[in-house]
Amino acid sequence: MEATEILHQKAVLKHQHDEDRLVIFEIIVWRVGVSSNYPDGIKYRAWLSEGGQTLFGFDNHKPKGAHLHVHDVEIGYVYRGLDALKADIVAMIQQEGFIYEK
């Protein structure tokens, strides 16, 4: 099965306390064939960056599987479904102090 894009959003977000502080947020989700690498048939990448530097990023590419980048540190992430992923992303955007409007 070829990957089919099911969600793609890219936006510039403002900081809630400093309107001059802007970040780029992008999320892409693909439906892929179910496999040991993608047991639910979902591949994703979501990134928040400021001035070319990663604030955080979620992805599940092979061979690493689900993981989270926080600045220069990479840590494991437990993928619990697409809705939970979206909620985790919005929570981290808000934790960084940026405004996300769907």
Q: For position 102, what pLDDT does the model report?
A: 72
Q: In angstroms, rounded to a whole number, what is the distance separating the alpha carbons of residues 75 and 58?
A: 10
Q: Are 89 and 27 in contact (CB under 8 A)?
A: yes
Task: Give pLDDT tens digits for 39-54.
Answer: 999 999 999 999 999 9
89 or 1, which is more confident? 89
